[in-house]
Amino acid sequence: MRVTVDAVLCEGNAVCAGLVPEVFYVDDSDELTILASEVPPELADRVREAVRCCPKMALELHE
């Protein structure tokens, strides 16, 4: 599973980083970085939740 971000839609709200800091990081400039090119299986459910909770729907899963 991979997760990607649409940088145009992302506002850096950091909801995803709050839910899965092992995969998502938002810096002081509100730029989102995805830390894992492939989501570890043990984090898959949490990443799915982060994608669902994104207020701008900027995250996409590729399973």
Q: What is the pTM of this model?
A: 0.94
In angstroms, the CA 31 to CA 42 distance is 25
Residue 37 confidence (pLDDT): 84
Say if CB 39 and CB 50 are below 8 A apart.
Answer: no
Question: What is the 8-class DSSP label of residue 62?
Answer: E
pLDDT value of position 3: 97
Number of structural domains (the chain) is 1
Structural domain span for residue 58:
2-62
- From first to last of its 63 residues, the chain has per-residue pLDDT tens of 999 999 999 999 999 999 999 999 999 999 999 999 899 999 999 999 999 999 999 999 999
Q: The dihedral of CA 34, 41, 56, 25: what is its sign? A: negative
Most distant CA pair in the chain: distance in Å?
A: 30
d(CA 3, CA 63): 9
Q: Can you give the pLDDT at residue 4?
A: 97
Question: Could you tell me the CATH number of the domain that includes residue 18?
Answer: 3.30.70.20
